[in-house]
Structure 1
Amino acid sequence: MTRHKGYALLCAVVALVVALSAAIYAAAAADHGPGPRTGSALAAPAAPPGGAGSAAPASTGVWVGTWGTAPVGGEPGTETTGMAGRTVRNVVHTSVGGTSARVTLSNLYGTRPLTVTHATLAVAAGRHGPATAPGTLRRLTFGGAATVTVPPGGQTVSDPVPVAVPYDSDVVVSTYTPASSGPVTYHPHARQTSYVADGEHTEDESGTAYTGTTAHWRYLTALDVLGPEADGTVVALGDSITDGVTATADADRRWPDVLADRLRTAARSGADTPRYGVVNEGISGNRVLADDPRRGASGLHRFARDVLGRTNVKAVVVDLGVNDILRDPGRADPDAIVAGLRTLVDRAHAHGIKVVGSTLTPFHGHRGYSTAREDVRRRINDAIREGGVFDTVVDFDKALRDPYDPRSLRPEYDSGDHLHPSDLGYRTMAQALDLEDLADLADLKGSAVRT
């Protein structure tokens, strides 16, 4: 009897250990994003069908955003035919690597259902061109099916696929749509060349079918990876200065790109700094308070989508307000703009996300400059520097301004339009940000949090 009791106890202990191990693995592999996502983040990825690559070992780690962009509107000229009968091959650049990947496709601005019958993901063969690296092409599925239909205003997340995605590399995501969904949901000013082919060519590894080029990202709004390289995601929420409209195309020189480089370098050196993927949610012309049909929803209206809806977000850097000043036909209200920024912080805090806020950079010499607008900019910056708005501040104004004329950008940091930085200016912005300021909100223990 005693022997049977001992055997039963041993079996119970073994069963408990197995259950705990499974729970730990599931927690490690789970999507830590704050918002609901369609698709299965926890299902073990199946071997890709056909000749689209072979399965890799199961991954561990956490899901993080390695790239992302904000949908801005419906692409002009696509209202009738959309991308019907064509394959779009989006090229995006990773901030961190992983061993599994998934994508988000958006039909936010479509007027009819978006049907995608074929979709693939692959590591690019190089920094330029539509070719894929040998052995990396994977077919994408959605809830186990090759075809997915996204309703107007909706989005979908693919099932994970096992693939080694390197950091600081290009990834191509190809989608074929046989019918029009109306206006194509897109992000202009990508500063990255993507490609288009007539017909279905999602599995074309050579890229020879992709004879069309575009400066837009279409449908694709996020690329997430699962792996041990990062513990979370930092979102850059801003306007054209964050979007990087004057950065050298196909060179990844926007300030969030340089921030990703700094974070990786710090991690490799063993520095006690956050390990984050970086997601750029800049929209050219974007404002804190007002929507614009051509420039997307305001920061207030898109915060839930572009920050809270991203995967495993730990921190957000907010650089918004210049367009509230420049695009106001009268004299913008600095108190209203600051109040809007405080609202963003409150929403972030409700989800445990830390907020780094930036001062507004100079624009003397730009066609929209006036002494009244400069006064509004200065008053907003004074409020930001005094505290009580953000958890911590990065002083982009101080980093870029001309010491002999603080109303203006320093000449070497000016792209030439007296508003947007040069490549060197973008690099200087990223270097001005203290990486330790991106630490998880929980690490502050309440001492430095805005009250």
Structure 2
Amino acid sequence: MPTSRHRQGLIAATLAGLLLLGGCAAHPGGVGMKPSVAETAAPAWRPAWALSPLPAGNNPSFDNQTVRQIVPLVTSGEAVRVRLSNELGTRPVLIGAARLALANADGSIRPGSDRPLLFGGQTGAVLPPGAPLLSDALPVKVAAGDRLVISIHYPGPTFVAGHQPLVTIAGPGDLTVAPVLQGETKRAPTLVGAVEVLAAQPAPVLVAIGDSITEGDVSHAKPAGTYPAKLAALLAARKDEAARVAVLNQGISGNRLLRDQAGANLLARFDRDALGQPGVSRVVLLIGVNDIGNGTRRPAEAVTARELIQALSQLRDRAHAHGVRLYIGTIMPYAGAGYYSPEGDAIRREVNDWIRRNEGFDGVVDFDAATRDPANPAQLLPAYDVGDKLHPSDAGYAAMAAEVERSLFGGK
């Protein structure tokens, strides 16, 4: 196994190659080479933040405007690169300029940290339809908990196929160098699909994937956190190897297992958004309530327990084919939600009974048992309900995170 000094030498050599080749070196062992088992302790790129893409709208997202977002990192590294995504786009996307900096506590740019993002040594780039694009590596040392400021100028009408985090939009013109961007802050599509870091001791990656219960409900002012974020905090506080695990949130609000809604169905996006993350070793899956709820409200979209079970089994087999452990979560109670029905709850309970039998999964996370009201098991415990009978409160997310820690890592 490489020593600490040897790892630092490999990091330096890797960075030198990356900067010389404009970001073309994919791995210390050579361009495009897959590391052998003996090389798994060598420096490697790992995602420190990621977001699932969504289709573009019917109107341009931006037109000669600068868009800035703040990205929190979950792992440390000696260098940074940004992965832009037009994977669900149907039109080319032109980037006029892009910059990266470290963020102060108030979101402003930390003095001396701002630098351009280059693409093959150039300040701009074009993303073809359906394609991602990696920036050149920047020799910027970052730590878990740091936040990055990423600014992109779109010089003309642009259709961005991306998730919609909070961003600041200003213009007209290229304002990427502004220390503080004065503009409108709102949810809008982002081209930034991931931030990757080059680490001497690459962190194992855990992907949490699902719907709004995983992403964090965006329709309420609260809760402030999500279960993946709370899980990351629990793991970081541990004194064992679990403290090194990087937790990525790949939830999409409204997502379903079997049908497209607010993005591709989970069967379609699982390989890209979960199994495709560099260094992924574990996936925690929670999905199905939107299939059941919408299916009982709209007969044309009705689902059966058997259909859901078959689809979940497909995801298990696909994960194992990639050497990834899949932990399946029971579907949480939702009595009182707008699309609740006793018929739907019967489907949920049948699927959960099958999940608890654990037919070939690497483990079960019993979110249902951890969050339900003992006096009425069909609904969330009142303290765990944000108010709509479907999405968890901060306390509910904390209970979910604790259940994942216990189930996967032997938490309390």
Consecutive unaligned residues in structure 2, runs of 5 or more: 1-5, 16-22, 29-41
Which residue in 1 is equivalent to 2:196? 224
Residue matched to 1:201: 175
Identity %: 37
Change (3 A) 1:414 1:250: closer
Once the two structures are TM-superposed, the CA of residue 231 in structure 1 deviates from its matched residue by 2.2
SS at match of 2:206: strand
**1:366-392, Cα deviation, whole Å (9 max, x unpaired):** 111111001000001000001105210
The CA distance in 2 between the partners of 1:262 and 1:118, in whole Å, is 38
CA distance in 2, matches of 1:249, 1:29: 44
User: Using the alignment, how far apart are the partners of 1:66 and 1:247 within structure 2?
Assistant: 26
Q: Is 1:279–2:248 an aligned residue pair?
A: yes
8 Å Cα contact 1:75/1:185 also seen in 2 = yes
Q: 1:164 maps to what in 2?
A: 141
Q: Residue in 2 aligned with 1:409?
A: 380
Letter of the 2:43 counterpart:
G
Distance 2:254 2:91 in 1: 27
Query: 1:65–1:250: structure 2 CA closer, same or farther, 3 Å change rule?
Result: farther
Tell me if structure 1 keeps the 8 A contact 2:364–2:407: no
Which stretches in structure 1 are left out of the alignment for 5+ residues?
1-20, 31-37, 44-59, 440-451
Alignment partner, residue 264 of structure 2: 297
Pair 184,246 (structure 1): closer, same or farther in 2 beyond 3 Å: closer
**Structure 1 partner of 2:353:** 382
The one of 334, 343, 362 aligned to 1:372: 343
**Mapping of 1:309-388 within 5 angstroms?**
309-328=276-295, 329-330=298-299, 331-388=302-359
Asked if the contact 1:29/1:62 (under 8 Å) is kept, the reply is no
* Aligned position for 1:71: 53
Aligned residue pairs total 381
- What amino acid is the match of 1:351? H
Q: Which residue pairs with 1:11 in the alignment?
A: none
Q: 1:175 aligns with which of 152, 159, 168?
A: 152
- Provide the residue aligned with 2:392 in structure 1: 421
The CA distance in 2 between the partners of 1:100 and 1:248, in whole Å, is 36
The C-alpha deviation readout for 1:191-237, integer Å capped at 9, x for no partner, is: xx321121112122x21x43121223511111111224652211111
3-state secondary structure, aligned to 1:103 = strand
CA separation of 1:246 and 1:86: change in aligned 2, threshold 3 A: closer
The SS at the match of 1:273 is: helix
Classify the secondary structure of the residue corresponding to 2:149.
strand
Give the C-alpha shift of residue 345 in structure 1.
1.3
The answer as to 2:217 corresponding to 1:245 is yes
CA distance in 2, matches of 1:219, 1:162: 22
Amino acid at match of 1:264: A
Structure with the greater alpha carbon radius of gyration: 1
Cα distance, 1:166 vs structure 2? 2.5
Please state if 1:100 is matched with 2:82: no
Partner of 1:288: 257
Q: For 2:156, what is the secondary structure of its paired residue?
A: coil
The code of the aligned residue for 1:258 comes to K
RMSD (Å) for aligned C-alpha atoms: 2.7
TM-score, length-scaled by structure 1? 0.78
CA distance in structure 2 between the partners assigned to 1:427 and 1:361 by the alignment: 14
Looking at structure 2, the residues matched to 135 and 375 of structure 1 have their Cα atoms a distance apart, in angstroms, of 59
Asked whether the 8 Å contact 1:246–1:422 carries over to 2, the reply is no
| One-letter amino acid of the structure 2 residue matched with residue 286 of structure 1 | N
SS in structure 2 of the partner of residue 115 of structure 1: strand
| Aligned-residue offset at 1:405 | 0.6
Q: Partner residue of 2:20?
A: none
Give the 5 Å matches for 1:386-405. 386-405=357-376
Native 8 Å contact 2:222 2:393 kept in 1: no
Q: How far apart, CA to CA, are the structure 1 residues paired with 2:13 and 2:349?
A: 46
Partner of 1:306 in structure 2? Answer: 273
What's the secondary structure of 2:63's corresponding residue? coil
Tell me by how many angstroms 1:27 deviates: 12
What is the alpha-carbon distance in structure 2 between the residues aligned to residue 353 and residue 410 of structure 1? 33
